[in-house]
């Protein structure tokens, strides 16, 4: 193999490394979103399981790692984001169902991205092995 072929492999390896990095970043974002959805579901289920609960104490994030203690009264309707900046009013059951669907979709996307990440890692290792083999052969000349 020539130096040109080696250069192509090194370029492809760097490109795959960029993809791997982007996938790690995307997975981190998806995981944070999944945690937020699970937290929302936990609070909604708490309201559902205790119909006598009139008030819930929680912390409201205001940014910069700062939280305000707040009391939430039992709502009749819950505002739910459905995408593209659109929000709808839903009752408690419908909100729980919506959040559950969102969690399932996030888990599916996380699994898909994890599979792609594993494929990219394998491809990266294959190319690294080819590069090492070519470099060894070039040294033998």
CATH number of the domain at 26, please. Answer: 1.10.287.370
Residue 1 above 70 pLDDT? no
Helix (H) or strand (E) holding 14: helix 3-49
**Per-residue pLDDT at 15:** 97
The two three-digit tokens of residue 79, written as one number: 């505002």
Q: Could you report the per-residue pLDDT of 90-102, keeping only the tens digit for each?
A: 999 999 999 999 9
Q: How many domains does the chain have?
A: 1
> What residues have CB less than 8 Å from 98, skipping those under 6 apart?
80, 82, 90
Mean pLDDT of the 71-94 span:
89
Percent of the chain clearing pLDDT 90 (strictly above): 70
Angle, in degrees to the nearest 10, between helices 92-140 and 3-49: 160
Give the domain extent around 88. Answer: 3-140
């Amino acid at each position: 193999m020539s130096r040109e072929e080696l250069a192509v492999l090194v370029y492809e390896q760097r490109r795959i490394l960029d993809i791997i990095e982007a996938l790690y970043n995307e997975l981190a974002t998806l995981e944070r979103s999944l945690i937020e959805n699970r937290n929302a579901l936990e609070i909604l289920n708490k309201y559902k399981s205790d119909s006598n609960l009139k008030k819930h104490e929680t912390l409201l994030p205001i940014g910069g790692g700062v939280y305000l203690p707040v009391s939430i009264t039992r709502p009749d309707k819950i505002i739910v984001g459905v995408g593209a900046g659109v929000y709808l009013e839903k009752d408690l059951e419908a909100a729980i169902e919506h959040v559950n669907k969102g969690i399932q979709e996030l888990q599916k996307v996380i699994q898909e991205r994890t599979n792609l990440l594993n494929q990219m890692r394998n491809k990266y290792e294959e190319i690294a092995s080819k590069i090492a083999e070519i470099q060894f052969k070039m040294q033998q000349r």
